A and B are shown apart, each in its own frame.
Chain A
Amino acid sequence: SQTIHQWPATLVQPVGSPLSLECTVEGTSNPNLYWYRQAAGRGLQLLFYSVGIGQISSEVPQNLSASRPQDRQFILSSKKLLLSDSGFYLCAWKLQGREKLFFGSGTQLSVL
């Protein structure tokens, strides 16, 4: 069966420190991968998506970057965190052409 793993679950980082959030999918191949962010009091917003290894597209300009070094691995990074990067980050996957979307358990990031 397909599963999605996202870690860490919570993270507290000082302003200016780097960030690396990892997401891996099991039980499927060539998934579309997504990073979403949910800021306090706001809906989920798409940050990045990927349709294949090394293929990353950004939906909104920001202080973050994403990479897909392997087919089922999606990484969200930052070189220097800002206070405004605080939020709840969700990784998700779906198969191209299919409607159903599967979410990871999320990472609560607090930048202090």
Chain B
Amino acid sequence: KNEVEQSPQNLTAQEGEFITINCSYSVGISALHWLQQHPGGGIVSLFMLSSGKKKHGRLIATINIQEKHSSLHITASHPRDSAVYICAVPFLLFSGGGADGLTFGKGTHLIIQP
């Protein structure tokens, strides 16, 4: 079973700061997901990446497959970025291109103060 570790668990920063959230996993994967969960509970998929780097607005996600590590960066952070950020890696539920589930990290609770 893949172990997914995130750090830090909690992060409070001032508006405008550069934010980094880290994720490491124990078993090689094909892709990694970064998700955002708002206080109401709804989850939105931010990125799915299998190599290199992806950028969407002020969010940047990087992954190093060899080191089994990914980072999520937020540039020019804003209070509306406050949320729980979760990384997740897939695992096969059965072989032959069948269903796969996700193993989730416990999340990083980010608070951006104005």
Q: Is the interface of A mostly helix, strand, loop or mixed?
A: strand
- Chain A residues near B101: list those with CB within 8 A: 34, 46, 49, 59
Nearest Cβ in chain B — how far from A25, in angstroms? 15
Q: Which of A41, A59, A97, A108 contacts B97 (CB 8 A)?
A: A97
With A and B bound together, what is the CA distance between A51 and B104 in angstroms? Answer: 21
Interface residues in A23-66 by Cβ distance below 8 A to B read: 32, 34, 36, 41-46, 49-51, 57, 59
Interface residues of B (CB under 8 A from A): 4, 30-31, 33, 35, 40-45, 48, 86, 88, 90, 93, 97-99, 101-102, 104-107
Interface residues of A (CB under 8 A from B): 32, 34, 36, 41-46, 49-51, 57, 59, 88, 90, 96-97, 99-103, 105-106, 108
